[in-house]
Amino acid sequence: MVSSNQEFTRRRLLKDGFRNVCILGIGGASGILMARGQTDQYCWQIDPQKCIACGNCATFCVLEESAVKCVQTYAMCGYCKLCTGFFDPAPNALNTGAENQLCPTGAIIRTFVEDPYYEYTIDESLCIGCGKCVKWCKAFGNGSFYLQVRHDRCVNCNQCAIAAACPSEAFQRVPADQPYLLKGTNHSG
Amino acid sequence: MIHCTRALPFLILLVGVSCLGQDIQRFPPPDFESGYEFPVTTTPAPRAGTLNYLDVAVLFMALSLASYLALIKRSRQGIFALTIFSLLYFGFYREGCVCSIGAIQNVTLALFDPSYSVPFTVAVFFFLPLLFALFFGRVFCAGVCPLGAIQDMMLIRPVKIPHWLLPALGLLAYLYLGVAILFAATGSAFIICEYDPFVTFFRLAGNRNIVILGISLLVISLFVGRPYCLFLCPYGVLLHHFTRLTQWQVTVSPNECLQCQLCEEACPFGAIDPPTPKGMPAPNKQDRFRLVFLILLVPIFIAVGGWVASLAADSFSRMHFTVRLAEQIAWEDASEVDKFTEASQVFRDTGQPKEALFQEARHVRDRFVLGAWILGGFLGLVIAGKLIGLSRYRIRSDYEINATDCLACGRCFSYCPQEIKRRRKSKSAPTVRQEAGNG
């Protein structure tokens, strides 16, 4: 009886000791990790310089309707009458007929500003983030259309499914206080 | 400005697709005469940071409540209600992210990649349930984890799993943990999140294969208690070992055990061990020899495990983007294909030297070889540990909860005749007892 009692105590002592070591370990590890981080949170964003508008954003997002949408930096836009991001490469006519549009959902709104300039705005409720307009705008226009993760929609997965599928490593974690990588507005006009 | 429709194909030929990659201001932005002003690109803000602190607060409250309900109140109904709440909050409201299981990878990545700092919320989600496990056991599993919750609710017709099968299938969780840490440490992928089987239900959307995996697991959990938790959950492995040191643990009955076996029948997770049979012989010389032999074999297990895993290092390393890309480019160059993959095309367009890419891929692969040796050694150690555990002679006089496997669901309480008697008699009986340390 005495021996078993002693064993009991020794075991308890060891257990308590190990537990305290573990608590110190947890405290130390979290302290080290905390000391390093200034950012409170990360979120995902697309680097428009790396994006090749492959179309994965439209299909790989865990959301039924992708959190990635096209955005427009107006100050970069050429306000072209013949917008290569708006019109199909071989349109029947240069009007807003659906068959003439590049966008599969007709999410780009074309508004007349003054001759010969037209404003192009993305209707985000229609945009699916396929990047067709981005590709053509970048190839033949000013590249003012580009894809961004819209944070009113993004659920901020720990591992973004699009990031895993991105062929050009354009997805990156950015601090939540600067959640967008918008293209510059460095034009002289 | 081009006005003619026919001009467009020519334009395409002229400019070519090669200029993808950098922005060119081909058309100067106009000087508007009508006083038009450039609209500003909207930037909707992400979820407010303060709400993350709400998550932390809810986690702490839920863990405290689970501890109270499992250890002091001893109420299955209470735990079940908490389970529903956690499923709704952490599952359907937070859509399965942030979660303690996935946080393993963030913490790992932060430890191996100095440029990545783990967010405060994620760190708390990783460490807090472990801290609770040191004091109260696996209360996180009991009522806080949404993945456990969704499976727990499906369990309607538990089937007994053979006792020998549980530890064998349990090895899968160690494998999953090891591989997940390897991929997170090398910055390759967060596989726990990618293959989270229930997140598709929480979001009501997602990859088809994961939906199939989730449905299969839910169907299994109609008959087998929490298959993901028991056989796959990598965080469960950590909680299991932290619970070895727990200060307090759930008991079936605070009173004397009647050895009626009802609690063992009630536990769907095989966490209640029966008393040692009366006629069981004490360990003889041969048993002791086997134990010593197994302990001496541990280094061999580690070495063999490491060697076997190192054979798979090349396959593992293909999870890394750089290695995949380097192999693709080397293959394309060797077989002189004329159509490149998107990733390969992107790399070629940047004009970076291939040698640098190959160099980096080799470096990553070296890290994978080292990582695979460590992973294999770890798994060898785990297998050796399980064998040693099976060869140890333990004396149990009563039915006892194995705290490390107990998910603190509280199902056994109402099965115990002593507990029923206690509930009828008084509410003031001592309900938590210091763990006697005979596990």
- Residue predicted with more confidence, B229 or B285: B229
Is residue A121 less than 8 Å (CB to CB) from chain B?
Answer: yes
Q: Do A77 and B29 touch (CB under 8 A)?
A: yes
Kindly state whether A90 is in contact with chain B, defined as any CB-CB distance less than 8 angstroms: yes
pLDDT in tens, A94-127: 888 888 899 999 999 999 988 889 999 999 999 9
Q: What percent of chain A has pLDDT over 90?
A: 39
Of A22 and B253, the structure prediction assigns the larger pLDDT to A22
Residue A90 pLDDT: 84
More confident residue, A91 or B69: B69
What ipTM was predicted for this assembly?
0.80
Per-residue pLDDT reduced to its tens digit, B168-190: 898 999 999 999 999 999 988 89
Q: What is the mean pLDDT of chain B?
A: 87
A71 Cβ under 8 Å from any chain B Cβ: yes
CA B216, B217, B221, B227 dihedral sign is: positive
Residue A188 pLDDT exceeds 60: no
B18 three-state secondary structure: helix
Mean pLDDT of A42-54: 90
| Shortest alpha-carbon distance between residue A15 and chain B (Å) | 6
Q: Which of B30, B194, B206 has its CB closest to that of A117?
A: B30
Express each pLDDT in B97-153 by its tens digit: 889 999 999 999 988 988 888 888 889 999 999 999 999 999 999 999 999 999 999
Q: How confident is the model at residue A1 (pLDDT cuts 50, 70, 90)?
A: very low
What is the per-residue pLDDT across B307-332, written as a single tens digit (0 to 9) for each? 999 999 999 999 998 999 999 999 99
**What's the angle, vertex CA A19, arms to CA A15 and CA A25, rounded to 5?**
145
Residue A136 has what pLDDT? 92
CB B301 within 8 A of CB B388: no
Per-residue pLDDT band at B4 (split at 50, 70, 90) = very low
pLDDT at A19 over 70: yes
pLDDT computed for residue B19 by the predictor: 43
Is A183 an 8 Å CB contact of chain B?
Answer: yes
CA distance B392 to B394: 6
Nearest Cα residue to B136 out of B290, B272, B43, B242:
B242
- Give the per-residue pLDDT at A132: 92
Return the domain boundaries, chain A.
42-175
Cα of A153 to nearest chain B Cα, Å: 8
- The size of chain B, in residues, is 439
Q: Looking at the partner chain, which of A75, A157, A188 has a beta carbon nearest the beta carbon of B38? A: A75
CA R_g for chain A: 26
Using a CB–CB cutoff of 8 Å, tell me whether B33 touches chain A.
yes
Rounded to an integer, what distance in angstroms lies between the CA atom of residue B47 and that of residue A176? Answer: 9
